[in-house]
Amino acid sequence: MNYFPDEVIEHVFDFVTSHKDRNSISLVCKSWFKIERYSRQNVFIGNCYSISPERLLRRFPCFKSLTLKGKPHFADFNLVPHGWGGFVQPWIEALARSRVGLEELRLKRMVVTDEGLELLSRSFVNFKSLVLVSCEGFSTDGLASIASNCRHLRDLDLQENEIDDHRGQWLSCFPETYTSLVTLNFACLEGETNLVALERLVARSPNLRSLKLNRAVPLDALARLMACAPQIVDLGVGSYEDEQDSESCLKLQAAIRKYTSLRSLSGFLEAAPHCLSAFHPVCHNLTSLNLSYAAEIHGSHLIKLIEHCKKLQRLWILDSIGDKGLEVVASTCKELQELRVFPTDLHGGGNTAVTEDGLVAISAGCPKLHSILYFCQQMTNAALITVARNCPNFIRFRLCILEPHKPDHVTSQPLDEGFGAIVQACKNLKRLSVSGLLTDQVFLYIGMFATQLEMLSIAFAGDTDKGMLYVLNGCKKMRKLEIRDSPFGDAALLADVNKYETMRSLWMSSCEVTLGGCKRLARKAPWLNVEIINENDNNRMEENGYEGRQKVDKLYLYRTVVGTRVDAPPFVWIL
C-alpha cells in the first residue's frame, strides 16, 4: 500500500465508516494514522470527559460530524443528581473558535443551554443536523436560534429531552425562504405550537421525510399536515382525540390513503381508543411501530392494528398488549428484529400484563429477533432456556423483572440457569441486562460464555465479590459495566485495575465498595477518574476516623487522557 499515493489510500478509507474500523486502521502505521486522521468525517466520543475538545481538534482537524455522550446511563433513572456534569458548552465554544466546518452534532445525556445553541447556530455556516437525545438545560428560545440562523438545516431531532417550553414562536423563526427540512421531531415539547407556522413550514418542505408532532397538535391540524406532505416516511402523531366520524377524522382517513411511503409510525401521546383503525390502510408497509406512549389504547385495538403489520421489523409497545397480544405479534410479524415491551404500571401491581409466556411466544415466532427489552412481572428458568434455544441470535437481551430478587415463580429457584442458557446460546450477545433473583452462579456463566459482551447492567444480584470478578475476568470485550444494589466490594473492585483501561466506564451504586477501596484504586490508576457521588454530607466522609471503611454511595469511574475534570459540582468528589 505504500506505493499508492495518499489520495488513493484516502479514497479507500472513505469506504470505511465504522468507528472501530477506522480506529484500527489508524494503528497500522504512521502514514495511515496521518491519512486517517485528516480524512475522518464522523467522530464518536462515548464519554465527553475522556478527552478534551482541544485534543479532539488536534487529532481530527477536518471532521464534519460529532457525537458526544455525557452522563452515565443510570442518569436516565434519576441515579445521578442534577448538576453532575456533561456540559456541552466548552465543546461548542472550542469548535466555534477553530476552523472546523461542523455539519452535524449529536448529543446524548448532555446539558445544553440556549447560549450554546445560539453560538452553535451562528458559528457553522453549513450546519445541517442537530440530534439531541435525553438532554436538558435549554428552552424553545434555543430552538428559535437554530431555526433562525441555520440556513441549511436538514434535521432537528429532539428525542425525549427536557425542554423548557416558553410557548414562543420558534417554529415561525424558520425563514420563508427555508425549504430544506428533512427531519422535524418535537414530540417532547409540552406546550402549544404555532399551528399556522407549522403548516406553512411543512408545506414548503418537499424533502420532509420525518415529522413527529407533540401532543399539542390536534387531529384537524394533523389531517391538514398529512394532506400537504404525503411523502412522509416517518410519522409521529401527537394527539388524536376526536369523534370517530368527525370531519377531521374523515379528512385524516382520506390523507392516509395517499401515504404509500409511510414506513414508521409513533406517538399517540393522547389518543382515543378507536384512532388506530384509521391507520389500518398503511399497516402493510410499516417496518417500525412505536406505541409505547399510547397508554390509553386498549390491548384489543393494538392487536387489531398489529394483525395488519406483516412487515414489521421494530415494535415498541406497552405491556397492555398482554401475552395474547404478543402471540399475535409472533404469528404476524415474521420480520421482527427488535421488540421493546414497556410497563404500564410502574409499581408492579397485581395486573400481570405480560409474563414469560409472551416472551416464549415471540422467540418461537420471530426468527429474526435480535434485540429485546422486556419488562414483566414474572419469569422462569424453563422459559428462558426455551427462548435461548429458539433465538440464538440475540445481540441485545434486556430483561427487567419488576420486582427485585424475584425468583423463578414456579420453582422458587434463582434465575441463574435461565440467563446462563441465554449467554451460552447467544454467541453474539453484546448487551445484557439481568434481573430477578440471581446468585454468583449467573456471573460465572456470563464470564464463561459471554465473550462478545460489551455492556452489562446488574441490579439487586449476586452474593459475593466472586460474582463481579467472574465478569471482570471473563468478559474481555466489556466496555460499560453498571451495577446497583449488589454486594460487590473492594476486593472485586481492586482485583484487576488495568482492566478499567480497556473499558469505557464502571458504575457502582449502593454496593459494598468503601471509600478506602476507592482511594486505593485512584492511587493505583492515575489514568482513571474515580468519582464519588455523595449527595448527603460529603464532608462527613472525612471527619470520623472510619473513613476508610465508609461505604460509598455512588462510584463512577472512567478512563481519561485529560485528567480530573474541572466542572465537577461540590457533591462529586474526584479522588
Write the single-letter amino acid at 233: V
Q: How many residues belong to the site for another protein (CB under 8 A)?
A: 58
Q: Which is nearer to another protein, 102 or 317 (CB)?
A: 317
Q: Contact 287/264 with Cβ under 8 angstroms?
A: yes
Mark the segment that binds another protein (CB under 8 A) among 97-105, 407-415, 491-499, 517-525: 407-415
Give the cell for residue 102.
Answer: 461542523
Query: What is the rounded CA–CA span in Å between residue 226 and residue 221?
Result: 9
Mark the segment that binds another protein (CB under 8 A) among 2-10, 167-175, 220-228, 551-559: 551-559
Query: What is the rounded CA–CA span in Å between residue 192 and residue 207?
Result: 25
Asked if 93 touches another protein (CB under 8 A), the answer is: no
> How far, rounded to the nearest angstrom, does the alpha carbon of residue 444 sit from its chain's CA centroid?
28
Among positions 42, 439, 451, 560, the unique one binding another protein when judged by CB under 8 A? 439
Q: Which is nearer to another protein, 412 or 498 (CB)?
A: 412
Query: What is the rounded CA–CA span in Å between residue 28 and residue 33?
Result: 7
Asked if 269 touches another protein (CB under 8 A), the answer is: yes
Asked if 452 touches another protein (CB under 8 A), the answer is: no
Query: What is the rounded CA–CA span in Å between residue 397 and residue 385?
Result: 13
Measure CA of the first residue to CA of the last residue in the chain; give whole Å.
Answer: 47
Q: Contact 450/477 with Cβ under 8 angstroms?
A: no
Asked if 82 touches another protein (CB under 8 A), the answer is: no
Instruction: State in angstroms the smallest separation of the CB of 241 from another protein.
Output: 8
Q: Contact 287/312 with Cβ under 8 angstroms?
A: yes
Among positions 344, 424, 451, 452, the unique one binding another protein when judged by CB under 8 A? 344
Q: At what angle do helices 322-332 and 299-306 cross, to 10 degrees?
A: 0
Residues 472-531 that bind another protein (CB under 8 A): 484-487, 509-512
Fill in the per-residue mask, 304 to 343: x = in contact with another protein (CB under 8 A), - = not in contact.
--------------------------------------xx
Q: At what angle do helices 465-474 and 440-449 cross, to 10 degrees?
A: 10
Instruction: State in angstroms the smallest separation of the CB of 17 from another protein.
Output: 29
Asked if 547 touches another protein (CB under 8 A), the answer is: no
Q: Which is nearer to another protein, 446 or 459 (CB)?
A: 459
* List of residues 6+ apart from 42 with CB closer than 8 A: 17, 19, 63, 64, 65, 66, 67, 104
Instruction: State in angstroms the smallest separation of the CB of 161 from another protein.
Output: 8
Query: What is the rounded CA–CA span in Å between residue 272 and residue 343?
Result: 20
Q: Which is nearer to another protein, 32 or 342 (CB)?
A: 342
Query: What is the rounded CA–CA span in Å between residue 280 and residue 478?
Result: 43
Asked if 349 touches another protein (CB under 8 A), the answer is: yes
The conformation of residue 8, written as its DSSP 8-state character, comes to H
Asked if 295 touches another protein (CB under 8 A), the answer is: yes
Asked if 77 touches another protein (CB under 8 A), the answer is: yes
Asked if 27 touches another protein (CB under 8 A), the answer is: no
Residues 33-72 that bind another protein (CB under 8 A): none
Q: Which is nearer to another protein, 118 or 242 (CB)?
A: 242
Q: Contact 94/81 with Cβ under 8 angstroms?
A: no
Among positions 70, 85, 116, 407, the unique one binding another protein when judged by CB under 8 A? 407
Query: What is the rounded CA–CA span in Å between residue 442 and residue 462?
Result: 8
Handedness of CA 257, 261, 266, 270 (dihedral sign): negative
Asked if 300 touches another protein (CB under 8 A), the answer is: no
Partners of 264 in beta bridges: 234, 288
Among positions 347, 498, 545, 570, the unique one binding another protein when judged by CB under 8 A? 347
Fill in the per-residue mask, 206 to 235: x = in contact with another protein (CB under 8 A), - = not in contact.
------------------------------
Query: What is the rounded CA–CA span in Å between residue 240 and residue 275?
Result: 7
Under the rule (CB under 8 A), what is the footprint of another protein? 74, 76-79, 134, 160-162, 188, 269-270, 292-293, 295-296, 342-350, 375, 400, 402-407, 409, 412, 414, 433, 437, 439, 457, 459-460, 463, 484-487, 509-512, 536-537, 540, 550-553
